[in-house]
Structure 1
Amino acid sequence: MTEYDGPAAGKHPDEKQVGPVLRRRDKVQAGTTTDQRLLDSAGPSEWVHTDPWRVLRIQSEFIEGFGTLAELPPAISVFGSARTPMDSPEYAAGVEIGRALVEAGFAVITGGGPGAMQAANQGAVDAKGTSVGLGIELPFEQGLNPYVDIGVNFRYFFVRKTMFVKYAQGFVVLPGGLGTLDELFEALTLVQTRKVTRFPIVLFGTQYWSGLIDWLKDTVIAQGKASEADLLLFHVTDDVEEAISLVTKEVGK
């Protein structure tokens, strides 16, 4: 066995190959080899925040989500405010909806947080069904609620959103804030553009949602920014049984 003596004979001194990339003349960059950087434990750590590394993290989140959720039974995603008090009628409705969805043969998927999300997970657990929480890394601590039986925490909102849609047959949307509106309008857009089909969207709480619906009618549609047919993309109800019936009917259960 011989020691490595440097560049091969005839190798141009102004040429350097790094992996599949060849650099020559003034494009050669000084620095250590890839193996050296890999094995140098004292090296800089900024690389974990670079875009190529983020790509791998994003990929790993998709793989983890797909692997965890692929064998779920038919499911419905339930959205609503994390600030819904536990002693409120809205929380009680969330529990009832979670329970009724399980009794109708669905798993329940939520954002895994407190408030309305916890209510739906609690209802699913009460009915001995599958209770799923898809959490998100936030600047303030939130964590998964105690009624989540299968939980996945994500770094990236767009990966989490994909899971909500991919593994659900429809949405039930309880009163909520900006995060709830974000999920609602993304779902409406996916249905409107036919990126997803047979995807019922039920808004629960007519009084809460009436102002938004009036704005859609009187401003958005009135100014030609949307069509009257877009109002058919969702249903509004105050009745738990009707909400479950609408979901059941549209997904063929």
Structure 2
Amino acid sequence: MSDRMEGPVVTRRGQVETGSTTDQRLLDSRGPSDWVHTDPWRVLRIQSEFVEGFGALAEIGPAIAVFGSARTPADHPHYAVAEAAGRKLVEAGFAVITGGGPGAMEAANKGACEAGGISVGLGIELPFEAGLNQWVDKGINFRYFFARKTMFVKYAQGFVVLPGGIGTLDELFEALTLVQTQKVTSFPIVLIGTAYWQGMFDWLRETVLAEGKINASDLDMMVVTDDIDEAVALMVAAREGRWPTPAPERPE
């Protein structure tokens, strides 16, 4: 079955419309000047996404966002790691929030759901992904990326990041930017999979840091591990106020 999520609306079969997404129509400035007349009305739709998100997530309690590739197959070791992460986070008293899609996101939702916890999915309207996975108990589908990203940071107390692609890297570096600029504090970011992430760390250290584009303390904003229990323990430490509030060095 081919599903298409258009904000909170799901369409199937003959009702599926192909073409651009809401985000694309907002951000693509090329074309006729009718945007002058339609953009003020879009503000109301954007506002409604924030209202829906705030209303749906306000009571979920302490939560951790788990990110990872939508392309992770169910028989891949990364799927099992994501499922275990979801389960152990619930056992530690957290709700689990994912992007609601397939792959590693589905696995984390599955682990949380089967452990009896709150399994949340924040989906996004895309031309090539269909709806929320079956293990999401509380789901919201967004039209606008920026509204969705706000919900991740506002309602998660930390990020667990599994191997992933562009979307995963986007969420990771946005979180790092918010921590570096002290927009969020006491916010642990744990990357699981040393073999996968080591090349990125080497590049950040040997190229970006070496050329003075970041400070050495910026690398301390992330912890990389293969131990799920360690990742969960760091989230618990943050919840209990034992995670250091960052005080980034300022460039001279």
Tell me the TM-score normalized by structure 1.
0.80
- The structural deviation recorded for 1:141 is 3.5
The alignment status of 1:142 with 2:130, answered yes or no, reads: yes
Match of 1:72, SS state, is: coil
8 Å CA contact 1:109–1:164 kept in 2: the answer is yes
The alignment status of 1:110 with 2:80, answered yes or no, reads: no
Q: 2-side partners of 1:66 and 1:243: how far apart?
A: 27
Match of 2:152, SS state, is: helix
Q: 2-side partners of 1:237 and 1:111: how far apart?
A: 22
**Of 168, 187, 197, the match for 1:209:** 197
Over 3 Å counting, the alpha-carbon distance change for 1:47 and 1:193 in structure 2 is: closer
The alignment status of 1:92 with 2:80, answered yes or no, reads: yes
Q: 2-side partners of 1:231 and 1:51: how far apart?
A: 40
Equivalent position amino acid for 2:172 in 1: L
Q: Deviations over 1:8-65 (max 9, x none)?
A: xxxxxxxxxxxxxxxxxxxxxxxxxxxxxxxxxxxxxx78981011111100000000
Matches within 5 A, 1:59-98: 59-98=47-86
The alignment status of 1:165 with 2:187, answered yes or no, reads: no
Match of 1:102, SS state, is: helix
Match of 2:59, SS state, is: coil
Alignment match, 1:230? 218
Give the percent of matched residue pairs that are identical in Structure 1 and Structure 2: 72
Give the gaps of 5 or more residues in structure 1. Answer: 1-45
Q: 1-side partners of 2:36 and 2:42: how far apart?
A: 8
Q: Which has the larger radius of gyration?
A: 1
Equivalent position amino acid for 1:114 in 2: P
**Of 145, 166, 171, the match for 1:178:** 166
Q: Deviations over 1:165-209 (max 9, x none)?
A: 000000000000000000000000000100000000000000000
Higher relative contact order (CA 8 A, sep 6+): 2
- The structural deviation recorded for 1:247 is 1.2
Match of 2:70, SS state, is: coil
Root mean square deviation, CA, Å: 1.4
Matches within 5 A, 1:37-56: 50-56=38-44
Over 3 Å counting, the alpha-carbon distance change for 1:141 and 1:231 in structure 2 is: closer
Over 3 Å counting, the alpha-carbon distance change for 1:56 and 1:221 in structure 2 is: same
Q: Deviations over 1:133-182 (max 9, x none)?
A: 00000012321000000000000000000000000000000000000000
Q: Deviations over 1:48-105 (max 9, x none)?
A: 9810111111000000000000111100000000000100110000010000000000
Alignment match, 1:31? none
Structure 1 stretch 242-251 or stretch 124-133: which is displaced more?
Answer: 242-251
Q: 2-side partners of 1:111 and 1:49: how far apart?
A: 32
Give the gaps of 5 or more residues in structure 2. Answer: 1-33, 242-252
Where does structure 1 differ by over 2 angstroms across 4 or more consecutive aligned residues?
46-49
Alignment match, 1:194? 182
